[in-house]
Amino acid sequence: MKRPSFILANVLFVALITIILIPGRMDTPTNVPFIVATVIIEALFLWHYLPKSKRKPSSCYIVIIVWVLLIVWELVSTDLGLTHPVLIPLPENVFAVFSNKTPELMRNIKSSLTLFAEGFLTAIVVGNLLGLIVGWLPRVRETVYPIARVLAPVPAIVFTPYLIFLLPSFRMAAAMVIFLGIFWSTMLNTILRIEAMDKRIVDTAKMLGVGTGTMIFKVLLPYLYPSIAKGLKLQLPSAMLIMVMSEMYGATSGLGYFIINYTNYANYTNVVAGIILVGIVVTVLDWLVTLFVKKTVRWSE
């Protein structure tokens, strides 16, 4: 027997499609991308919910909220006319951007993901590696730890104007902003994880005369890897936020550039589409990170 929330979710889906397809309610012929988007959302919902092993009530609640928001957006912006036509564009026009500007959107996604990989992955590797070294060496930790505590809370985006001036290209400056936004917090968390380790593990390694390199790569890294991997899910949204904001400072490509460029031209249809696209990209990256954690940390949930 299906849950009432599941039934309600599908009723709202049918209601939204019916509203969109009512003949003569609006003059725009661009409702096909909107319909395709709703069908894709419904298909993903059914794929995620129907298998008994994946069935969770939260899936129904999430999609119910999505349908309610889309129905309200559709009604107030078209039939009721309660919204400003420029500031809050029609949902049909917003979703039409994804089909009309597909090449431009794909170029910007590629640019952002490349920049994201350069800054984020480098910060994760360097931050954790240095965190392991600093956390294991007491004298180094006493010097570096206070510096990390001061710099970690500082928003990396404040360095953008200076980095643009100091570095040879905007792309290098944007990558450095992402790097700084993730590096200090990553190193600080790794140091704290080492301090919180079971002292018996450290004492046993010292008794066996384990060298620094062996201790870091054979003892500390395997022990801390599950928490490091799971921490990626927390760092991902922050890195994406820094990336999008950094692309708004003089960039010529990327998701942040797409949004700020059309904001300057008051084209809020493209702006809203860009915001939705950022949400989609973050969701996909979060799913990939979750999959990565499950594959590499066997006991993760």
What is the mean pLDDT for each group of 10 consecutive residues in the chain (301 residues)?
Answer: 80 90 62 90 87 72 93 84 80 91 94 92 93 86 88 85 84 90 91 83 75 81 86 88 86 90 92 94 91 77 47
Distance of CA 252 to the CA centre of its chain: 21
121 CB-near residues (< 8 Å, 6+ apart): none
Give me the pLDDT at residue 299, please. 55
Tell me the C-alpha distance between 67 and 51, whole Å: 22
Give me the pLDDT at residue 111, please. 93
Give me the pLDDT at residue 121, please. 92
The reported pTM is 0.85
Give me the pLDDT at residue 272, please. 94
Give me the pLDDT at residue 301, please. 47
CA atoms within 13 A on the CB side of 246: 33
Give me the pLDDT at residue 207, please. 78
Q: Rounded to the nearest 5 degrees, what angle is found at the Cα of 132, between the Cα atoms of 126 and 138?
A: 130
DSSP string, 280-293: HHHHHHHHHHHHHH
CA atoms within 13 A on the CB side of 192: 11
Say how many residues make up the chain.
301
245 CB-near residues (< 8 Å, 6+ apart): 157, 160, 256
Could you tell me if 205 and 219 are in contact, meaning their C-beta atoms sit under 8 angstroms apart?
A: yes
Distance of CA 19 to the CA centre of its chain: 32
Burial of 90 (0-12, 13-18, 19+ CB in 10 A): buried
Give me the pLDDT at residue 229, please. 87
Three-state DSSP at 182 gives: helix
Could you tell me if 258 and 270 are in contact, meaning their C-beta atoms sit under 8 angstroms apart?
A: yes
